Amino acid sequence: MVTIGDIAKEANVSKTTVSRVLNNSSLVDENTRQKITELIEKYNYVPSTIARNLSKRESSTIGVIIPEIDNPFFGEMLRGIMDTMEQVGLTVMCFNSGDKKEKDMKALAILRQNGIKGLIYTPAIDYSGNEEQSMLKKWLQSLDSPVVVVDRELEFLQNADGVFFDNELAAYKATEALIQSGHKKIAIINAELDRILARERQRGYERALKEHNIEVNDKYIFLGDYTENKAYQLSKQCLNLEEKPTAVLTCNNNTTMGFFRAKKEIGIEDSEIVCIGFDNIKALEFFDINFNYIERSVYSMGKKAADLLLQRIKNPDQPRIKYIIEPKLVIKHI
For 229, residues 6+ apart whose C-beta sits below 8 A from its C-beta are 258
User: Domain-by-domain residue ranges, the chain?
Assistant: 4-47, 59-165+299-326, 167-295
How many other CB atoms are there within 10 angstroms of residue 203's CB atom?
16
Amino acid at the residue 57 = R
Residue 293 near residue 280, CB atoms below 8 Å = yes
Percent of the chain with pLDDT over 70: 96
Residue 7 near residue 36, CB atoms below 8 Å = yes
Amino acid at the residue 74 = F
- What digits encode the pLDDT tens for the residues 223-264? 999 999 999 999 999 999 999 999 999 999 999 999 999 999
DSSP class per residue in 241-257: -SS--SEEEE-SHHHHH
How many other CB atoms are there within 10 angstroms of residue 74's CB atom?
21
- What digits encode the pLDDT tens for the residues 50-84? 444 344 446 789 999 999 888 888 999 999 999 99
3-state secondary structure of 221: strand
CA distance linking residue 250 with residue 258, whole number of Å:
9
Beta bridge partners of 95: 65
Residue 152 near residue 196, CB atoms below 8 Å = yes
Residue 78 near residue 64, CB atoms below 8 Å = yes
pLDDT, mean of residues 306-324: 93
pLDDT at 313: 93
- Residue environment code for 181-200, b if the CB has 16+ CB neighbours within 10 A, otherwise e: eebebbbbbbbeeebbbbbb
DSSP class per residue in 84-152: HHHHTT-EEEEEE-TT-HHHHHHHHHHHHHH--SEEEE--SS---SHHHHHHHHHHHHHHTS-EEEESS
For residue 212, name the pLDDT band (cuts at 50, 70, 90). very high
CATH topology for 4-47? Answer: 434 Repressor (Amino-terminal Domain) (1.10.260)
pLDDT at 290: 75
One fold for 4-47 and 167-295: no
pLDDT at 252: 93
User: Which CATH architecture best describes the domain 59-165+299-326?
Assistant: 3-Layer(aba) Sandwich (3.40)
Length of the chain counted residue by residue: 334
- What digits encode the pLDDT tens for the residues 133-186? 999 998 998 888 999 999 999 989 988 999 999 999 999 999 999 999 999 999
Q: Domain 167-295 carries which CATH code?
A: 3.40.50.2300
Tell me the C-alpha to C-alpha distance, in Å, between residue 153 and each of 156, 220, 241.
Answer: 9, 27, 35
CA distance linking residue 154 with residue 158, whole number of Å:
8
pLDDT at 57: 47
What is the reported pTM? Answer: 0.76
3-state secondary structure of 294: strand
For the beta sheet containing 274-278, the strands, ordered from the edge strand earlier in sequence to the opposite edge, are: 221-224, 186-191, 247-250, 274-278, 292-295, 328-330
